[in-house]
Structure 1
Amino acid sequence: MKHLIRGAAAITVLSLATSSALALTVSGKDGQKTYELKVADWFPTSNPISVDGAKFWMNEVTQASKGAVKFKYYPAGQLAAARDLLSITQSGLTDIGATAPEFNADKLPLSTVGNLPGLFEESCRGTRVLWKMSTEGGILFEKEFKPQHIHPLILAVTPQYELLSASKPIRTPADAKGLTIRSAGGTKDLTIQAIGATPVSISPAEMYQALKLGTVNAVAFPYSNAAAYSLQEVAKFGTEGANLGSFVDLYAISDKTWNKLPKEIQQIMMQAGEKTSMHLCQALNDDTTSKIKLFEQAGTKIDKFDAQGVAAWKEATSGVIAKWVKQYSAQGLPAQEVIDNLKTIQQSLQ
């Protein structure tokens, strides 16, 4: 039996190694090389981050390279679950993977800075700042992405998270006390705890049933993506102006693949990446307005906060950044330096 187990394990390792070796396919014809790369995503193809992110970028790269770069796209978690996509990118089982620092805070803790509340009012401002911090020469690239042997290609900061409830309206932070609220984990846990609620970590795919069955009282999620999970069918109440932070969506390529690509292909990918990141953030901003209308048409009662209401929510979450800095500084990480760098870049964009 032990020999059988060892044999099965050996076959598994061999299979993984073979998959790794074949992730990047290079072929040649008439003296020109063609590069075919695997792209693993956790978003379904209908999600705006797939449409205006991954698929937009792949099309841009293929066109700019005149067909020298092609892709095999695996959406909706076909190759791995969302939280495992970073690992399979690093291992070489895929060349490019969609990931999120929030899902991999053990490996990318400082990069969760983009998810903190009170930093950005809209998607594109956050995207411009995080792009500078996360590409070559930026503090996050040097401190985290480079040591993790990945190279960011697309990065977008989502519009602000709001609350969607199936049980009761949540008009003030006091209304959230004692509730169970779906969280993406990491910094979102800190934010939800700051308003007196209990965070529950569930995947986006589980939100619909969780709201419908009352597993959670509410979910924290941006309107721009919420309709992709049909939440307008189960959410009876919503907020606009709670501004509970953002979420950093990231597509990265492994250094193993990146270093095999010619410089001109690398340049095409990065130019397409910056263009895609700004295209995606604007699409998400635009989508927020249309999706709020969609929710209202479906019967969701959305409380739209005035300046006083927005200020109350901001005050309730004002201590989250300090807690984030304390948490990671205690681990010997330059968390305050990252916050200071973010603010400096943001001021330079004004």
Structure 2
Amino acid sequence: MNKTPFQITRRKLLSTTTAAMTTTLATPGILRAQAVNTLTMSVWVPLQGDVAQNLFYPWAEGIEEITDGRVKIDILPSPMGPPPAHLELLRSGQLDVGFSIHGYSQGEFARAKIGQFSFLGDAYGASQAFSKVYGQLLRGSEEHTGITLLGLFQHGPGMLMLRDKVVRTAEDFQGLRVRTSGGYISGLMSDLGATNVPMSPTDARQALIDGTIDGVCFPFEGAKAFNIVDQITYVSEIPSGYYNATWFQGMSNAAAARLPAEDLALIRSYSNEMIPVLAAKAFDYADYIGKEQLIAAGIEIETAPQSVINAVKDVAANYESAWSAEMAASGFEGERALAFTRRLTSGG
């Protein structure tokens, strides 16, 4: 199975996408000579991993290029805090640029649940569909209070990865202790009979070693990114995903206020356009690499039998109906938005 590594095309991607952006950005005629503004960015996924190398670093390079060097992104050598803390780090102005997962903040991002449901398809389609449907049709920026939203994206379809356990019937979920990221997947696992254990992905390896969890809900890229390949013995795969996770990238309002208006407009337009594209490519490639590592390690990857898929569908339908009703009460057509999302992806 051959696949061209995405990472080696990073510079080429930057040159072509930057050129393409000239047709979509209303660039000011001649910007005044200005001092360089350096913005700090905290990245809590591995810096040498596929996602950081193919999403955050190219984005940072693109920002410097489109602003002609007036804005630089300084990616810190270590994250400023655990993943769930990054939203408040942005809101407080302690951090200039960061990203996080909507599911870490219970109750704040009701509309974003549209991108967390089961059977949404691969990373490439899902990330771009989420940005379009949630970001535009559901006016997702309204939910990101206290920060300047830069972009929206998703990872690839989430799988169930287990140690010394298997799931071949709906009954096999009973009693499983599973790490989840919060939001929809936590409810899904609980309703299927598993014990939901919310925790940061960076804590998953030690929890597997200690035996405090039986498995994790991760996309394939997570197995490599969070170094759990040697701790997993079995993967239950639903090709279009048990779930997904929705992400946002933002800038603190304090940092936004420091930038000249022309540069801030360039950054927001470029980021809104390119973050979903970069994320789609980065996660799709990272999922491929993660799955290949699991296969090379001899780990059993089994497509979920129909009885398991049906159990997931039954639970998922209840969540989708409840969400659609919640959206209707807020003036949005949730059911149509979800159907549109699935038409845009390989989730069917």
TM interval, shorter chain, is 0.7 to 0.9
Aligned with 2:38: secondary structure?
A: strand
Q: Could you say which residue in structure 2 is the equivalent of 1:143? A: 142
Name 1:334's counterpart in structure 2.
330
What CA distance in whole angstroms lies between the structure 2 residues aligned with 1:187 and 1:156?
Answer: 16
Structure 2 counterpart of 1:111? 112
Map of 1:185 onto structure 2: 182
Q: Which residue of 2 aligns with 1:277?
A: 276
Q: Residue by residue, what CA displacement relative to the aligned partner does 1:304-336 show, whole Å, maximum 9, x if unpaired?
A: 24677645543453323234456x57xx96386
Pair 1:287–1:264, CA change in 2 (3 A): same
Report the 3-state secondary structure (helix = DSSP H, G, I; strand = E; otherwise coil) of the residue aligned with 2:168.
coil
Contact 2:158 2:243 in 1 (8 A): yes
Corresponding residue number in structure 1 for 2:150: 153
Distance 1:83 1:290, change over 3 A: closer
Residues 253-293 of structure 1 deviation map (CA, whole Å, 9 limit, x = unaligned): 13333344323442244324422321221221233233212
Is the CA contact 1:182–1:200 (under 8 Å) kept in the aligned structure 2? Answer: yes
The alignment partner of 1:105 has SS state of: coil
Q: TM-score, normalised by structure 2?
A: 0.79
Range that drifts further, 50-59 or 38-47? 38-47
1:46 counterpart (30, 45, 48): 48
Following superposition of structure 1 onto structure 2, how do residues 1-350 of structure 1 map, counting pairs within 5 Å? 31-74=33-76, 76-77=78-79, 79-118=80-119, 120-135=120-135, 138-145=137-144, 148-241=145-238, 243-259=241-257, 260-305=259-304, 310-311=309-310, 313-325=312-324, 334=330, 337-344=333-340, 347=343
Instruction: Figure out how many residues of one structure are paired with residues of the other and give that number.
Output: 313
Matched residue SS, 1:200: strand
* Deviation of 1:75 (Å): 5.3
Q: Which runs of 5+ in 1 are unaligned?
A: 1-29
Overall identity of the aligned pairs, in %? 19
How far apart are residue 207 of structure 1 and its match? 1.0
- Structure 1 pair 264/43, CA: closer, same or farther in 2 (3 Å)? same
Q: CA deviation at 1:72?
A: 1.9
Go from structure 1 to structure 2 and tell me whether the alpha carbon gap of 1:194 and 1:76 turns closer, same or farther (over 3 Å shift).
farther
| Rg larger for | 1
Q: Which residue of 2 aligns with 1:23?
A: none
SS in 2 for 1:303: strand
Report how far residue 182 of structure 1 moved: 1.0
For the residues of structure 2 that align with 1:90 and 1:35, how far apart are their CA atoms? Answer: 19
Question: How many angstroms does 1:110 deviate by?
Answer: 2.6
CA–CA distance in 2 between the matches of 1:322 and 1:123?
A: 24
CA distance in 2, matches of 1:323, 1:266: 37
Q: Secondary structure at the match of 2:48?
A: coil
Q: CA deviation at 1:346?
A: 5.2
User: Alignment RMSD, CA only?
Assistant: 2.8
Does the C-alpha gap of structure 1 residues 133 and 96 become closer, same or farther in structure 2, counting only changes over 3 Å?
farther
Distance 2:324 2:190 in 1: 16
